[in-house]
Structure 1
Amino acid sequence: MDALKPQRNEPARMERLAKLPVFWGLEGKRVVLAGGSDGAAWKAELLLACGAELHLYCEASELSESFAALVAKGQMLRWHDRPWGPDIFEGAELALADCETDAEAASFCDAARAAGVPVNIIDKPEFCQFQFGSIVNRSPVVVSISTDGAAPILAQAIRRRIETLLPLSLKDWGALAQTIRERVNLRLAPGASRRSFWEKFVDRAFTERLDEGSEERLLADIGMQVARAGSGRGLVTLVGAGPGDAELLTLKAVRALQAADVILFDDLVSAEVLEMARREAKRMLVGKRGGRESCRQEDINDMMIRLAKAGKRVVRLKSGDPMIFGRAGEEIAALEAENIPVEIVPGITAASAMASRLGVSLTHRDHAQSVRFVTGHSRQGKLPENIDWQSLSNPSVTTVFYMGGRTAGDIQSCLLAHGMPASTPVVVMISVSRANEQRWCGSLAQLAVAVERLGVNEPVLIGIGDTFHAASAAFSVTGSEEAYSVSVQKAG
């Protein structure tokens, strides 16, 4: 069982933050603002929207037209027709100012800090103890984006994209969450059952319209979670991590990672994908990689069963798609034999990622009538003995060999022996979609030497067939054919 212990450095649970994102309650709190510009008026609107009791200090001649209109509305805004002074900070929760010069900004900042009041000088980050982000408002759901002042335009672009993802109805769902939260907390103990309820709540918030029966259906869900919690059993979700690029994860995969109590992950799962997981989840490496010491499949099965019986939500995180050369069948059978619920979340398999990276269709109708995924090694680490080489030797069949690095020479020999032309286009890709991605394009006659020179310490994918002709033609070969040129390209 020693192989189940972590064998590599895990990513930090929290990477370095430029600023701490804090949401500050201002309902009924005194906030002071110096300056009557349009920029100050926008900050005033934000503060008033938070329920702050805002005190504005500026002379009438400094009051902009838009700010004057805001003052005329009244609300919780009190205008003091005078310049700011050290006396304005008493009892203040926050202090803001719009200052034309650095000298004035420094004076206001020093006075506020001396009074123990957090300060923000508009558009002068060097005098700010806190900053405003770009806001997406679905209150009580509020999203704030900050670039630490480096690129406000970028923050605005991110906000626009988030705006398109969050339906306006999310505001009403957020209000409903506040209404039922106490009842949920009373009936569901902290842990898997409560988290499962809120996950289903979120799914509904993004897919259903709120109606009169929504609250009743949610309360029924609470009862279901109570019954399930009483069974004392968790569940296992087999999740496809894709080829490595975290942006290729499905939304369902991200939700599963965010809901997990324990994550059992393969050695090929990238650190970027693990970074998407819930911070509190326990992560355990159950590394499985050809040619290296690995956990026994039986040990992994036993661990999933033991954790699920302890009531844990277990994610079995597999590189690529769990249903393609991922031993998912063995794990599903073991779990079902113990009556443990199993869910499967598919992932992008390496062959699909390879095709997208090359810009090649695996089933281009001018070149390929079928596509096959073939394992490059058996349980004994050799080519499987039952491969139908005769059918695979047809160049119009697109064949992708997984885990074929150490058997590339045998693959080449078998295909040539069964009549595949030596000139058949071949593509070899290593670490598809990752920063250390490598690719080689050439002919079947060159395959074994090319893989030997590329190395087999990282995941190797071999694509063979006429459909890869376009990739070979686009590939820039330097030197003679015997050089077997290798191109290294970063993912991105």
Structure 2
Amino acid sequence: MITTNVRTPSEVAPTRLSALATLPVFMILTGKRAVIAGGTAAAAWKAELLAAAGADVAIHATDPSEDMVLLVARGAAAGSLSLHAAPWCAADLDGAAIAICDAESDEEAAAFAAAARAAGIPVNVIDKPAFCTFQFGSIINRSPVVVGVSTDGAAPILGQAIRRRIETLLPAALADWARLAAGVRSRVMDRFAPGRPRRAFWEAFAERAFREAAPETVDDLLGAGASDDTRGKVTLVGAGPGDSGLLTLNAVRALQASDVILFDDLVSDDVLELARREAKRICVGKRGARASCKQEDITALMISLARSGRNVVRLKCGDPMVFGRAGEEIDAVRAAGLEVSVVPGITTASAMASAFQTSLTHRDHAQVVSFATGHSRDGVLPPGLDIQAIVGEGRTGVFYMGARTADAIVARAIAGGLDPTTPAVVIASVSRPEERRWAGPVAALPATIAAWGTDAPIALAIGTVFANAETGALTLADPAPARRAAVRA
């Protein structure tokens, strides 16, 4: 029997904000004067951009390009554009809010930058970062939602590629929703108390904004929150096997909407980084043969936080509904009269199959796949576990938390008639940078785990589907085989 020390839930400070190459700032230019020196096509784009933000743009160019002439003739979407057929001078910058120059030489760039600094205004010299006090980034325009992407001038093409990818995630209707939000903001402030009631409205609002076209009103949402119930809710979220790239969109949304996150030891820092920065993080570590928090303490804390009005995320590795004790927690939350929901995650067996590029139910080998726990509450192989029903002809058996009972699993399987040469695989820290894989005959499996040790989370599987498993196969999570350690017996 394995005895463990008892831990108590402990709050963990969020990761410190990493160094920023530049500070993203959104400048209000409506009704303010902007100066542009130069008449090139690049200067025309900057003039159009500033005018679209509401600025009155004065362009100084003795020989404006066709692009600039056409822009001024067409007019601005907002603000105004005026073309002055004369070179710029320092006096032109007086009272301006922002200054842009497309300089023909470093000497002109230096002079313009010096004049702007003397006037106390931000300056950008196109394609000459040494003379700039700010940089333009790539822009995603769903105004009044505006997203800026900067690479600090190092890789503009990369910034544009990032912009294109973000644009695919932001529906065009988001602009209509943002305008609708501005129109109902005062009503929301009056109708809903600060804290959970008000946040619940905006969360429901945001969910609809990504699913459908904006309606004329949101009276249905305004009416739905009329209750004085200030209780929070609990969401069980699957963190997947480790790689943050394997989180579902719903999991990310839940983390972003959380007030408190109760997370297990094996949840990676990369996953926690996707959470709302203001969310409180509390480690409620549970690992086999190690000091762990009592389940009743975790459940009590979860319910207490939700009753106080918090949006609680119970973050579990893999899928919470597979060996995650989710049933106990769901029953307890329901019994407390609180709302509970579940966001599934990628379970270890699925990540393992992807890592070995092996179908667990290949029709030529297996018609049944079974997931089994490798240990009981006492830390030993459950006495009643029918190994013969899990492994054998036409079956694939996956054992979770089986590192310390691998000897017993294999011995019981072979004693029940399993061929000792049956293919088997072992994977440690699946989908993580330190992932290790092994494939070989089942009889050699315990020795492999003994050589690796049991500090890392380990899963093992047995079945003829693994006959051609390659330990060097690429994973869906990370196509970099150099980061993986692999052994083949």
With the length of structure 1 as denominator, give the TM-score of the two structures: 0.92
Equivalents in 2 of 1:149, 1:235: separation in Å?
Answer: 44
Q: Count the aligned residue pairs.
A: 470
In structure 1, C-alpha distance between the alignment counterparts of 2:464 and 2:344, rounded to whole Å = 28
Pick from 134, 139, 156 the counterpart of residue 152 of structure 1: 156
SS of the residue aligned with 1:109? helix
Show the counterpart of 1:290: 288
Q: Structure 2: how far apart are the matches of 1:38 and 1:410?
A: 74
SS, match of residue 105 in structure 1: helix
Report which stretch shifted further, 97-106 or 362-371.
97-106
Quote the Cα distance in structure 2 between the aligned partners of 1:288 and 1:67. 65
Secondary structure (helix, strand or coil) at the match of 2:154 reads coil
For residues 21-420 of structure 1, what are the structure 2 equivalents within 5 Å? 21-59=24-62, 61=63, 63-75=64-76, 76-212=80-216, 215=217, 218-227=218-227, 230-420=228-418
Alpha-carbon distance between aligned partners in 1 of 2:473 and 2:297, rounded to the nearest angstrom:
44
Q: Which runs of 5+ in 1 are unaligned?
A: 477-485
Equivalence for 1:479: none
Mapped to 1, the partners of 2:363 and 2:236 lie a distance apart of 34
- The answer to which of 188-197 and 88-97 deviates more is 188-197
1:468 and 1:148 map into 2 onto residues whose CA distance is: 48
- Asked whether the equivalents of residues 7 and 292 of structure 2 are also in contact (C-alpha less than 8 Å), the reply is no
The equivalent of 1:482 in structure 2 is none
2:449 counterpart letter in structure 1: V
Q: Is the 8 A contact 1:287 1:295 kept in 2?
A: yes
CA distance in 1, matches of 2:198, 2:437: 46
Question: How much does 1:472 deviate?
Answer: 4.5
Matches within 5 A, 1:406-485: 406-472=404-470
Distance 1:358 1:127 in 2: 53
Cα RMSD (Å) of the superposition?
1.8
Q: CA deviation at 1:395?
A: 4.1
Residues 99 and 468 (structure 1), Cα distance of their counterparts in 2 relative to 1, 3 Å cut: same
Q: C-alpha separation between the residues in 2 aligned to 1:190 and 1:344?
A: 26
Q: Secondary structure at the match of 2:398?
A: strand
Deviations 1:212-232 (A, max 9, x none): 4xx1xx2232232230xx223
CA contact (8 A) 1:427 1:472 kept: no
Q: Deviations over 1:350-385 (max 9, x none)?
A: 111111122111111011111111111111111111
Counterpart code for 1:208: E
Q: Write 1 or 2 for the structure with the bigger share of helix.
A: 1
1, 8, 12: which is aligned to 1:3?
8
**Cα contact 2:391–2:462 (8 A) shared by 1:** no
Aligned amino acid, residue 224 of structure 1: A
Show CA shifts across 1:223-254 (max 9, x none): 32230xx2231111101111111111111111
In structure 2, the CA distance between the partners of 1:197 and 1:310, relative to structure 1 (3 Å rule), is same
Q: Identity percentage over the alignment? A: 56
Whole-angstrom distance in 1 between the partners of 2:180 and 2:473: 57
Distance in 2 between residues matched to 1:475 and 1:27, nearest whole Å: 56
Kept in 1: contact 2:139–2:163 (CA 8 A) = yes
Closer, same or farther: CA 123–158 of 1 in aligned 2, 3 Å: same
Q: Give the Cα–Cα distance (whole angstroms) in 2 for the partners of residues 275 and 284 of structure 1.
A: 14
Structure 1 runs of 4+ with >6 Å offset: 473-476
Distance verdict in 2 for CA 1:487–1:173, change over 3 Å: closer
Q: 1:434, 1:394 → 2: CA distance? A: 30
Shift of 1:98: 0.5
Please state how far the C-alpha of 1:190 moved relative to its aligned partner: 2.6
